[in-house]
């Protein structure tokens, strides 16, 4: 199986035996969350902002991906897809990670529901790492709309308010309300394989490792 661990904001670590370890969107220590102490083979950066681009905070890295393209690193297929931003100069990059057919999409700082052409690559996503807290990225209603378009097996909300975080974001409750989830599953980390995915979309709240 593979394991997904959340470190707050948009930072996750994806690990599986005999595959490259990936860290997404590492943040610097100035946002109110403790500094990261992570190791990984690959770092992905969705866009150039302090909450997402602190690759120096991750040790052991061999590849830092900052743009669109197709990559195969350590048995992981990674596709970077640019989404145009409505407000920012820096466009956002969605990363699709394919671990032997298990597909995880990290939407970065996506700030609007993407066009159908941008979204086609995401139509068979098993796990959607989804910004829900507003600010510069999707708010609860937009995030919920995207889930119904993509119908992933699992949704993991990210980029929402946490204790100590110095960003203006909404909490996760608003998204859960939009989704009609009253009793979300909470996990320390997500351990998944292609054989244990739910058929109906399920929302998992990860406890941040901070």
Which among 155, 153, 199 is positioned nearest to 178, based on CA atoms?
A: 155
- Asked whether the CA dihedral 95, 96, 98, 99 is positive or negative, the reply is positive
Q: What pLDDT sits at residue 200?
A: 94
* 210, pLDDT greater than 90: no
Q: What are phi and psi of 27, to 5 degrees?
A: -110, 160
Q: Radius of gyration of the chain from Cα atoms?
A: 15
Beta bridge mates, 82:
93
User: Please, which pLDDT band fits residue 67 given cuts at 50, 70 and 90?
Assistant: very high
Please name the residue that has the structure tokens 């970077």: 80
* 3, pLDDT greater than 80: yes
Vertex 113: Cα angle to 107 and 114 (nearest 5): 75
The tens digit of pLDDT for each residue in 134-192 reads 998 999 999 999 999 999 999 999 999 999 999 999 999 999 999 999 999 999 999 99
Q: What pLDDT sits at residue 181?
A: 96
User: CA of 196: how far to CAs of 153, 174, 189, 190, in Å?
Assistant: 10, 28, 15, 11
The tens digit of pLDDT for each residue in 99-124 reads 999 999 999 999 999 877 778 888 89
C-beta neighbour count of 196 within 10 angstroms: 9
Sheet architecture: strand order including 154-158: 69-73, 76-83, 92-99, 102-106, 127-131, 154-158, 202-206, 185-187
Nearest-angstrom CA–CA distance, 169 and 126? 26
Q: What pLDDT sits at residue 169?
A: 96
Which among 64, 21, 19 is positioned nearest to 46, based on CA atoms?
A: 64
């Amino acid at each position: 199986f593979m394991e997904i661990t959340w470190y707050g904001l948009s930072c996750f670590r994806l690990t599986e035996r005999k595959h490259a370890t990936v860290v997404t969107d590492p943040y610097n220590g100035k946002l109110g969350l403790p500094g990261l102490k992570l190791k990984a083979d690959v770092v992905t950066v969705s866009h150039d902002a302090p909450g997402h681009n602190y690759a120096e905070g991750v040790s052991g890295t061999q590849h830092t991906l900052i743009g669109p393209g197709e990559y195969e690193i350590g048995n992981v297929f990674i596709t970077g897809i640019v989404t145009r931003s409505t407000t920012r100069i820096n466009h956002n990059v969605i990363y699709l990670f394919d671990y032997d057919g298990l597909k995880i999409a990290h939407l970065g700082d996506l700030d609007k529901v993407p066009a159908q052409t941008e979204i086609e690559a995401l139509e068979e996503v098993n796990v959607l790492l989804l910004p829900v807290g507003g600010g510069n990225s999707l708010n609860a209603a937009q995030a919920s709309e995207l889930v119904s378009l993509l119908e992933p097996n699992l949704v993991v909300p990210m980029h929402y308010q946490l204790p100590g975080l110095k960003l203006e974001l909404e909490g996760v409750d608003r998204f859960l309300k939009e989704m009609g989830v009253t009793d979300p599953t909470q996990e320390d980390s997500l351990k998944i394989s292609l054989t244990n995915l739910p058929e109906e979309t399920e929302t998992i709240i990860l406890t941040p490792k901070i």
